[in-house]
A = this chain, B = another copy of it.
Amino acid sequence: MAKRGLPKYQRQKYLSQKIKEDPFLTDEELAEKFSVSVQTIRLDRMELGIPELRERIKSVAEQSYSKVKSIAGREILGELVDIVLGERGISILETTEDMVFEKTRIVRGHYIFAQANSLAIAVIDAEVALTGVANIKYKVPVYAGEKLIAKAQVIRKRGNKYFVWVKIYVKQKEVFRGKFILVSMEGGMS
């Protein structure tokens, strides 16, 4: 929904609303949304006192990590940027050159799996959880430098089993999806 030619005060109102809804929008994405230059967005943010993306992520991440129970923060592959324990979570992984297959420059599947799996564990409201089953699908190859946005959702809980779906996106495109069944340790694995 582009807001073409909006007066500045209206654009700034929408802008702060948009960023509140999705703190991970880049200045580039915002510029496109409002059909203005990136420089305009930067000035808007400065006037509104909204920090740059990196700072926003950092601040959201710090709050997120403190909520996780089932896994040590640094064991999550990717940056945890949002979490509602027992319900859902989001992590961001910036892929790098050392994650790729030499032959194809495509990011190796187990990094993507590790991002999804560690996020699935993190969202669980349990002291300790292990992966029991995972059904996963890689839909589009990912290249180094692409930013993976993983979204996990706890679908249901049955006894000591948690069903978690994770979808990973590059820009708005889904590149991976996985269904995980996690088992909280109190009841053992079965």
Residue numbers of A with Cβ under 8 A of B are 71-72, 75, 77, 101-104, 106, 108-110, 113-114, 117-118, 127-128, 130-141, 185, 189
Contacts and interface: CB of A to CB of B under 8 A. Distances in A.
A126 to B, nearest CB: 11
A118 B110 contact: yes
Contacts of A136: 133-136
Given A104-B185, A185-B104, A109 B130 contact: yes
22 contacts: A71-B101, A71-B103, A75-B108, A77-B110, A104-B185, A106-B130, A108-B114, A109-B130, A110-B117, A110-B118, A113-B113, A113-B114, A113-B117, A130-B138, A130-B141, A133-B136, A133-B137, A134-B135, A135-B135, A138-B189, A139-B189, A140-B189
